Structure 1
Amino acid sequence: MRTWISKGWRPFLVLILLFIIWEVAINLFEVPAWLMPSPSEIWEEGIASWSEFKGHFSSTAFLTITGFAIGCSIGIGTAVVLHLLPKVREAVYPLMILSQNIPIIVLAPLLVIWFGFGLLPKIIVITLICFFPVAVSAMDGFRQTNGEYILYMKMSGATKGQIFRKVEWPHALPSIFSGLKISATYSVMGAVISEWLGAQKGIGVYMTLASSSFRTDRVFVAIFMIMLLSLLFFGLIVLLEKIMVKWNRKEDT
C-alpha cells in the first residue's frame, strides 16, 4: 500500500499537467465552447447542473450495480459448473467464445424488440458484458490450481466437493477478482449504452440530450462522471480483493 501511495502522485501530476495544457490551449486559440470547452468551463457546468444531473447519475449507478451483480453471479456459477463437469465444458465453452463475436451494440436493438423499453433489456446488456470476463477468469483460476495440493487432498480421502471448496476455490480467487475488475470497468459503459435504447433517466440519456443541443460542456461532464463512476467501482473491487485474498499481499508491503 505504501508503494502505491508513493507512486500515486505521478499519474496525478500528469493529469494535472494535461488539464493545464488543455486550459491554456483553449484560451490561447480562442476555441468556441460549443466546439471544445475548457476544463474550467466543464467544472463550472458540472457544479451548476448537478441538481439536474444527480438523478441521471443515481439511475446509471443503480443499473450498473444491478447488471454487474447479476452478470458476475451467473459468470461465476457457470464457471463452477463447467469446471466440475468437464464434458459439459467441452460442449459449452466454444459456444461462449463464439458468443463474444456478436457486438452488443447490434444485439441491443433486438433486446428492445423482444423485451420492450423497460429495465429488463438494459439489465441483459450489462449482464452479457460482465458475464464473459468473470466466467473465463474463474475457469482459468480453477485450472491453474497447484496439482500437488489436489493430489495431497485426494490422498487424504477428500471428496471432489471438498477439494473444490478448500483448494480450488481459494486459489482461484485472484483470477476471479481479475475478471471482476475488468467487468467493473465495462459495466458502466454497458449501462450507458443500454440507456441509449430508450431510457427516461441516466447518464446516457443526459449525454444524448446534451449532444443534440450542442451542449459540449455537458457532454464532457457526462464523460468525466462515467470515468469517475468506473474508478469508484473498480476501487471497491480492489478493496474487496484485499480483504478476501489475504495471502496475496506481498506486493503491498
Structure 2
Amino acid sequence: MAELNGRPVTPDDLLPLALTNYGHFTSMRVDDQHVRGLDLHLERLVRDCRIVFGADLDPELVRGYVRQAVGDRMGSFVVRVTVFDPAVEMAHPDKAQNPGVLVTLRPAADLPMPPLRVQSVRFERDVPAVKHAGLFGALHARRTAILAGYDDALFIGPDDLVSEGGTWNVGFIGEDGVVWPKAEVLPGVTMALLQQLGPHHTAPVTLAQARGMQAAFATNTSVGVRALSEIDGSPMATDHPVLTQLRDAYLALPGERL
C-alpha cells in the first residue's frame, strides 16, 4: 500500500524518488493503532523538512495521511512516511521546495527480536542528524558485514569512535550504567524514549571500549531494544538485567493513538 498526499501513488510519482533519491523519512511501528513516540516522529519530519527542503511541514496533515493509509487495521506493522518533491531534478535540487508526503506500510517483526552479530565498518553517514533517503552507504556497509558472516554493521567514524549501526542507534551497558556514544549520529526516536525512562549518559566510545562493555544493544522503531551478541567476534552478554529492564520498559510504553 502506498499513497502520495492521500492519493494512490503511480509509477510516475515514484520516478523522481527512485532516480534522484532526494528526501527524508521516518518509520514508525504501529501496534493496534498506537505508536510509541508519535510526537517525536512528527517533530523529526518537521525538523528535517526545514533542513532538506527549507519548507514547513504541517504535522497534523501528515498525521491525517497516516490515519487514512492505516484505516482500521489492527495488529502490528511499520508505517514509513517519506517526504520528497515529485518535481525534483538532479541538476536543480535547489528548486525542490514543494515536498509531498508518501505513506507506505510493511509488515513488522515480532518483539523482542533475536540478538545481532555485528562487524565494525569504517563509515559515517552524510548529514548524520537527518534521517534522509540516501541509504547507499549504510546498506553497502551492511552488505559488507553480511558477506563477512555477520548480521549487520557497526559504524566507526573518522575519529575511530563508535557512532551508530546500519539503520539503528547503539547503546552500551557499562559499570556506570547505560552509555550512548558521543558522536555524530541520528537522534533516534527509540533512543530518546529510553533516555526518558531512566538515568543515561553520553560519552566517547572506542571500539576496544565497546567490546569490553557488559552488554550492547541496538534501538529503532522496528526492533525496539535488540541485544548485540557479538562485536567483531567478541561475545557480548545478552541476558544482562539492565538490558532486560530496558526492553521491558520500552515494550510497556502505551504509545499514542494515531
TM-score w.r.t. length of structure 1: 0.20
Q: Which has the larger radius of gyration?
A: 1
Q: Which has the higher helix share?
A: 1
TM-score w.r.t. length of structure 2: 0.20
Q: Which has the higher strand share?
A: 2
RCO higher in structure (CA 8 A, sep ≥6):
1
